Amino acid sequence: MEVQAGAVATGREHPSPPRPYTPPQRLWPATPRGVNEARHALAEKLTEWSLPELADSASLVLAELMTNAQKHGWVDGRSIGVSVSRIDTGVLIEVHDARGEHLPRLVAASLTDVGGRGLAIVDAVTGQRWGVMEREGPGKVVWAVCSAA
């Protein structure tokens, strides 16, 4: 079953994920260092795939989604799962966490808010191509598609 993420707060419909659920390809520590290491691994993978033009935008999206998973979806002793797949239009990023009851919501942060802009960044960078789907076992998968301009 698919859960539409941004529609909760914005009334917009987000597309369905480009593929059905698959288990994460790699587990990363739920720490800032884990986020940083995953960003660098993604940039290397995009270079291997001859998609270096997506490195900045895809790394930003991955960092935002992993940081949200770390802050809102983490359970003690669990890692953050990540899958990255090449698709016709660019790259599909999936971040798996252990808290399915905490769905991401696109909100408008005020000028004085310290946080709350991550999904707005993801929404803008991906052209509103992101969402949430259920996963096997506890938790959820937040996915996003980054495409070359």
78: confidence class by pLDDT, cuts 50, 70, 90: confident
- Strands of 2-3's sheet in order across: 2-3, 130-134, 140-147, 90-97, 80-87, 26-28
Q: Are 44 and 24 in contact (CB under 8 A)?
A: no
CATH number listed for the domain at residues 2-147? 3.30.565.10
Weakest-pLDDT range from 28-37, 48-57, 75-84: 75-84
Give the residue among 83, 80, 58 at the shortest CA–CA distance from 69: 80
Those residues with Cβ within 8 angstroms of residue 110's Cβ, 6 or more apart along the chain or in another chain = none
For 50-129, where are the E strands, in sequence order? 80-87, 90-97
For residue range 79-130, list pLDDT tens digits in order. 999 999 999 989 999 999 987 777 787 777 677 766 667 889 999 999 999 9
- The Cα 122–Cα 127 span in angstroms is 8
pLDDT greater than 50 at residue 8 = no
All structural domains of the chain with their residue ranges: 2-147
